[in-house]
Chains A and B, each alone.
Chain A
Amino acid sequence: MDTSSMTKQELKEYQKQLKREEAMRKIRAQEKTPFLTRLRYKYLTWYFAKKAAWAIFRFVLLVGISYVILFPYIAKIFGSFMSRDDFTDVMVKLIARHPTLDTYRAIITDNHYFKAMFNTALLSVLCGITQTLICTIVGYGFAKFKFKFKNILFIGVIFTMIVPHETIQLSMFMQFRYFDIWGIYGAIAKLFGSSEATPAMANLLNTYWPWVILSFTGLAFKNGLFIYFMRQYFNGVPDELEEAAYVDGAGVIRTFIKIIIPMALPMMITVFMFAFSWQWSDRFYTSLFFTNTKTLLMPDIVKIPSSLDTEYAAQATYEIAIRNTCGLMILIPLVVIYLFAQRTLIEGVERSGITG
């Protein structure tokens, strides 16, 4: 191009364009760096090596710990398929030589598995729902309202959390065997000449009443912890939310039902999972309140089925395997529910914003 015929303005533009083209060529040249060189600059750096090493270490560690967690269950699962002869066989480590379903069959038929499951499911679902609701309500009360003695009452919640059950085992038994409130009924009955040493309103053992009462009053297993969880969760909820509802004309209860509960649902599912599964596999309360075995619950099926003959060389291991199989069968429904709910469970706690 002839530069001499251009005006000053045009010349300037032309030079600019040249510069731009030069820059573009440089960039393109950069892009044309050989593939291997690019790889080298990307991956053969200290930064990347550190990152990769950490990722590998983390992965191995997590897999290892997962193995430690899962192995007992895997071993139990394999053990549950073993027949009697497999336990004397030295060669058998995990995989049975004579796999059998006899153990499962015997537990289902002899130990009345499904009956126990139905009873336990009924009890656990009821307990789980009531405990979740009650703990949500109580936790909300502790988090969002100011009233006298609130702190003292909350110390009460902590107190129920830290007193071991064994401490009040006997008196809990007595409380529900001779159900009474502060002994008032007994005193009145004695005034009217009752012949019994301890007159009581009712004998609530071997019924579901103890669970109903304990659940509705937020005193059941670990409910103090649930109340604490819910309180922390509601503490993190901004007050403006409710104030907006109040301004819009909703009462406290309506706000709670329409706004708070839907919002707290993930956390409530978490609490429900805890309550449900801890009730499901609970042994302490079931053995305390059910003195006879008329109502079959899950702990009752942990025994050696009568149709399995265990008396031979490896009796001990065989019986352990049977008991483990009982445990596995107790867990099956729990695991199924966990698989569905685990995402909500973990996210619920994550979002709870629990702080000291």
Chain B
Amino acid sequence: MNKVKTAKTAASKPKAEPKPKKEKHTSLDTQKSRMGWLFVSPFLVGFVLLYLPMIVDSIGYSFSELNSVVGGGFERVFVGFENYSYALFKDPQYLSLLGQSVGSLLFNVPAIVIFSLFMAILLNQKMRGRAVFRAIFFIPVIVSTGIIEYIDTGNKAYLDNLEQMSGGDTASVSSSGSSSTASNTGDQIISMVDVRILFGGMAIGGSLVGRVLALVNNVYQIINKSGVQMLIFLSGLQSISPAIYESCYIDGASSWETFWKITFPMISPMILVNAVYTVIDSFTSQSNSLMRYISNIYSQSGGRVRATAMSWMYFLVVIIVLVIVAAIIRAYVFYQRRDT
């Protein structure tokens, strides 16, 4: 260590005027911690000077009313919990949308995580045309965000009002096959009726069947949303040493056993990361109906603070869900000890 330090201090200031060596009492650790501060300083500055004021302001706004003042500017009037109580008790849709988005989350997060894990394992296998499939599977990551999502949801709202459509052009998946039936909104991959009949004999709650159906019909959404997760899983799969698989194979384990005994535990930290990411992503994405409602309120009210109050409450719910999800998964996560 000492060698490192002297070499480094000598090299870092070769042209500086010779100073007395007494000043260089800073140890390597101190120096490194200083450099650490330097490296994170862009974020630190932004966080302290920009982000924290915004957060503080945002909390402040949610408790107050903004009035614009003649001569430019605005003033804040403290109104207490009025914005919150409005959202909770007077707003016609907020609570039901909140429940709805949390409910759909409970079904979507496992679906997305399982689907992306499955797909990552498929795409990790050696086969012909792998590069092409990978390229196709990651198109949604790049393409299906922001403005495109906005256009698509706009189209869907359009189509929902429409009884019938002509032409093969919709944002949805299945219009080619099934749009001939008049009442089909083009959204359904399998018909609801078929599945109802299939599940009718079983003693499953009707609501659960409905959920499953919604899940199946949302397959396009799920695929679209699992791009980043797939990438993360792929990177996790790559980091598992092939030697482990080889020794498993020699010991006579089937691929099913290998998956549950090796792949799954090794990838479990990634499952945690992906679950958390999926929760965040689906809470903050534009296609979330509550988010759309909040930004609608924001644009309608000309920047009234009700939207801010609503989204703070929403954020609290996000945090609670996140903590629960993380706690549940964390109990099962296996961390491999690396001796490097």
A interface residue numbers (CB < 8 A to B): 55, 58-59, 61-62, 65-66, 68-73, 75-76, 78-79, 82, 86-90, 92-94, 134, 137-138, 140-142, 144-148, 150, 153, 156-157, 160-175, 178, 181-183, 195-200, 213-214, 216-219, 225, 227, 238, 243, 246-253, 256, 273-274, 277-278, 281-284, 298-299, 302, 314, 316-317, 319-321, 323-324, 326-327, 330-331, 334-335, 338-339, 342-343, 345-346, 349-356
Contacts and interface: CB of A to CB of B under 8 A. Distances in A.
Interface in B147-182: 147-148, 150-152, 154-155, 158-159, 161-162, 165-173, 175-176, 179
A82 B308 contact: no
A178 B75 CA distance: 12
B91 to A, nearest CB: 15
A314 B167 contact: yes
Given A146-B29, A160-B47, A170-B305, A79 B136 contact: no
A92 B73 CA distance: 56
Contact of B311 (A79, A142, A166, A247): A166
Given A247-B7, A251-B12, A316-B158, A197 B335 contact: no
B269 A356 contact: yes
B42 A218 contact: yes
Q: Which of B119, B168, B219 has the most CB of A within 10 A?
A: B168
Contacts of A66: 133, 136-137
11 contacts: A75-B170, A82-B167, A163-B55, A173-B303, A175-B50, A198-B74, A216-B42, A217-B43, A256-B39, A317-B162, A320-B171
Contact of B146 (A171, A282, A350): A282
A175 B53 contact: yes
A352 B231 CA distance: 10
Contacts of B147: 281-283, 298-299, 302, 327, 330
A153 B140 contact: no
Contacts, number: 355
Nearest to A238: B340
Interface stretch (B105-113, B245-253, B280-288): B280-288
A195 B179 CA distance: 64
A82 B308 CA distance: 43
A147 B30 CA distance: 8
B125 A58 contact: yes
B75 to A, nearest CB: 5
Nearest to A70: B136
A153 B44 contact: yes
B142 A338 contact: yes
A82 B169 CA distance: 10
Interface of B is mostly: helix
Contact of B169 (A78, A247, A283, A343): A78
Nearest to B14: A249
A147, A218, A247, A299 — most chain B CB neighbours (10 Å) = A147
B155 to A, nearest CB: 5
B93 interface: no
Contacts of A92: 166-168
Given A147-B33, A219-B46, A252-B35, A169 B168 contact: no
Contacts of A89: 166-167
Contacts of A320: 155, 158-159, 169-171
Given A141-B36, A197-B74, A277 B145 contact: yes
A217 B69 CA distance: 32
Nearest to A67: B173
B151 A140 contact: no
Contacts of B270: 354-356
A182 B39 contact: no
A216 B232 CA distance: 26
A162 B170 contact: no
B258 interface: no
Contact of B318 (A140, A148, A164, A334): A164
Contacts of A58: 122, 125, 127
Contacts of A324: 151, 155, 169, 171
A171 B64 CA distance: 13
Interface in B15-41: 29, 32-40
B51 A171 contact: no
A69 B137 contact: yes
Given A55-B127, A89-B166, A182-B49, A252 B32 contact: yes
B272 interface: yes
A255 B156 CA distance: 52
B54 A141 contact: no
Contacts of B72: 196-198
Nearest to A179: B50
B314 A157 contact: no
Given A141-B38, A351-B238, A317 B54 contact: no
Given A86-B167, A141-B39, A173-B303, A356 B335 contact: yes
